[in-house]
Amino acid sequence: MMHRSLLITWMILALLITFSLPTRAYKVLLYHGANPPYSYHQQGQIKGIFADLFAGISKRTGISFEFEMHSVARGQRLFELNQIHIEPGINPIWRQHRKVPGIYTIPYAISSEVIVSKDNQVISSIEAQYGKTIGIVRGYRYGDFETHFGDEKLVVFEGRAEPDLLALLQKGRIDYAIMGAATAHYYIANYKQYRPLSVVYKVSELPVSLRIHPDNMYLKSRLDKALTEMIGNREIAQIYFKYTGNTSNVLLNK
């Protein structure tokens, strides 16, 4: 009899969780106020890859999302407090050292990190660049490439966001900057002052997922199902093409 009562209790709790999901807006972390092509403001609204991605997920799940924009450092603190519930476009390697690493959906895209330079010379040896200054975004992690940072290696300059690094690069105040390939190509293609810049080295290429705070792990199965459908019908490919002009960052079902 007690076993039956417990079973009924768990069933009621599961139903309450299921039906309460659409009434709560889950907070999604965006960085720096503008990070095109992933997120930017247009006529008072947030546009970009992430906006379209979560619109597609919401349409399929009924889950509501609310975007919040913070610096990397503050965003990570809020995630650890579960005041930010989801961080998009993340590979687990980048957050493995955080106090709350998080749990992850299935991968939905590929993120390529590249080095941008005002000098169009393609880099064949990173070691040959030791002593030069490279800009990185404060709070971001760069995996094994970080072994090239330090005394008598690449001199690191930390910036608040990618546009800050591009401005310094364009003015000749740093030699290189690391950022996502999609971000680099967007700025070079759309801003005249950055057209002299070019991608000179590929740092990494990794699959990215939605990072979920563990207290919201019940979202994972529904998010996975929505992402699987959006990959399968090429909706994610269409989103990336809309903002970048290519689908090189997209995972496709085989």
What does the pLDDT read at residue 254?
45
DSSP secondary structure string for all residues of 36-79: TTTBEEETTEEESHHHHHHHHHHHHH--EEEEEEE-HHHHHHHH
What does the pLDDT read at residue 12?
56
Q: Classify residue 131 by its DSSP letter.
A: T
Q: List, run by run, the mean pLDDT of 10-residue segments along the chain (254 residues).
A: 56 53 82 83 92 98 96 92 97 92 96 92 96 93 92 94 93 95 88 94 95 97 98 94 79 57
197 vs 140, 167, 176, CA distance in Å? 22, 11, 10
What does the pLDDT read at residue 249?
72
What does the pLDDT read at residue 22?
47
What does the pLDDT read at residue 5?
61
Token readout for 94 is 């980048």
What does the pLDDT read at residue 110?
93
pTM of the model: 0.77
**Within 13 Å and on the Cβ side, how many CA atoms surround 248?**
11
Taking a C-beta distance cutoff of 8 angstroms, is the pair 200, 119 a contact? yes
* Structural domains in the chain plus CATH codes: 2-110+206-244 (3.40.190.10), 111-205 (3.40.190.10)
Token readout for 83 is 């005041």
CA distance 59 to 63: 8
Token readout for 111 is 């993120």
Residues 6+ apart with CB under 8 A from 171: none
What does the pLDDT read at residue 11?
58
CA distance 65 to 111: 23
